[in-house]
Structure 1
Amino acid sequence: MALFDTIRSILGTNATADATRDADPEDLFGMSTAYVTMEADLGYDHCGEAALCFSDVDSTAFQDAVDEVEAILDAGELETGTGYHQYADDHGYRWFVLEDDDPEDLVTSVHFAADTFVENGFGSRLLAAVFGFEKPEQSAYWIYSFRRGAYYPFVPAGDHERDQQAEFKLQSVLDGELEVESDESYWYPLWPDARGRHPWE
């Protein structure tokens, strides 16, 4: 199965069919306290970036929703200094990538962007929100699947390998604080285009 089809299957149609609860952008606020736990209990600093991944659709109404998200993020950049840019990956997905030294601002910006899509009737186009963390020699991510309404950990190691021990450690510490996906088959890795980069690069 091609990588594009795998992503679509795991985060898309299969996840929709197998959804255990409705996705809710309010779930993203759980990451506000998770940032503290990641640093205090696990030694991870936030990487200063987070991202929202969504699938495109060729319609004027959808482009209007994207424009509205951009307007909200523009306003946020003036108010909080949260920068952003868009990224289109090789699999046909688009990303809003947020940059800020304050993790609370990142959470708020991702939430506003996701909520705007939902309010405009395009919640089904949302795939994932990704929050990045780092410590010496290791990067880790919490991924929120909008199709499953749950988070899961992703810790890349080497070339398309995963540090499953670290992922299970993240699950054990954060489960209860975050709504963690119980079915590990949905812990889909979002590999970056090149080793050592973020999934949104």
Structure 2
Amino acid sequence: MGFLDALFGRRKQIQPNLDDWFALPSAALELQAATGFTPTGRGAVCFTGVEGGQFARLKQEIRELLDTDTAQGGEPVEYSQDRYGYTWLQVEQPPDDLPALVNDLHTINSMLQDHGWGPQLLCSLVGFTGPEDSAEAGRPLGLVYLYKRGTFYPFAPREADLRDNALELRVQGALEHELPLEADLSRWYPLWNSPALSGP
């Protein structure tokens, strides 16, 4: 068992309610009102390594299902592996169309779950950025969904692998009535390697 698996709740799995994702667009409005942070349009799903022809076919199926923008020549889903060996599926939508991004992430989670790879799912993340003309302009912020816990938590990275705990607690206060938040702060794991928090 990897350390991410333990932190993300593999030892005590709770049946996730993926429909909680659909509360995210309204929660994002509350987040913007409280902090000024807005969606970047980027999101990602993280899971433990899966190999073989069956998974290759599923990846192609996901690409075909989400491929609504072939005119621009881009892939609807980008796959990458971080330094710990975990696989990331990244998707992108216009920043002002968070419902479309939520639908994509919900679809990916559902397809992996329905094809029997639910135990490999670790988390998903939606990226936000700080308000322009402020000290937090361009600052990344992620809302992370823990698949095996069925909860969300904020992650606010800073330079040199530091994090902004004060901002994370502000986000917690803003969203405590909007989303099922993770009460155990020891599970607010820092996702330094998430492609959804990298620059455009």
TM-score interval, smaller chain: 0.7 to 0.9
TM-score, normalised on structure 1? 0.84
In the alignment, residue 120 of structure 2 is paired with which amino acid?
R
- Counting only pairs closer than 5 Å after superposition, residues 33-48 of structure 1 correspond to structure 2 as 33-48=26-41
In the alignment, residue 8 of structure 1 is paired with which amino acid?
D
Partner in structure 1 of residue 185 of structure 2: 184
Give ranges in structure 2 of 5+ residues lacking alignment. 131-136
Q: State percent identity of aligned pairs.
A: 27
Q: Return closer, same or farther for 1:178/1:117 CA change in 2, 3 Å cut-off.
A: same
Give, in angstroms, the shift of residue 156 of structure 1.
Answer: 0.9
- Counting only pairs closer than 5 Å after superposition, residues 44-123 of structure 1 correspond to structure 2 as 44-74=37-67, 76-77=68-69, 83-101=76-94, 102-123=97-118
C-alpha separation between the residues in 2 aligned to 1:104 and 1:198? 18
Give, in angstroms, the shift of residue 184 of structure 1.
Answer: 0.5
Partner in structure 2 of residue 10 of structure 1: 7
Give, in angstroms, the shift of residue 118 of structure 1.
Answer: 1.2
Confirm or deny that 1:24 pairs with 2:17.
yes
Give, in angstroms, the shift of residue 199 of structure 1.
Answer: 6.1
**Runs of 4+ off more than 4 Å:** none
TM-score, normalised on structure 2? 0.84
C-alpha separation between the residues in 1 aligned to 2:138 and 2:39? 14
Q: Return closer, same or farther for 1:200/1:30 CA change in 2, 3 Å cut-off.
A: farther
Give 3-state SS (helix, strand or coil) of 2:159's partner: coil
Q: Is the 8 A contact 2:63 2:75 kept in 1?
A: no
Q: Return closer, same or farther for 1:60/1:137 CA change in 2, 3 Å cut-off.
A: closer
Provide Cα deviations, 1:4-38, integer angstroms capped at 9, x if missing partner: 94323212xxx12234x311221221212122222
In the alignment, residue 61 of structure 1 is paired with which amino acid?
Q
Over the aligned positions, Cα root-mean-square deviation in angstroms equals 2.6
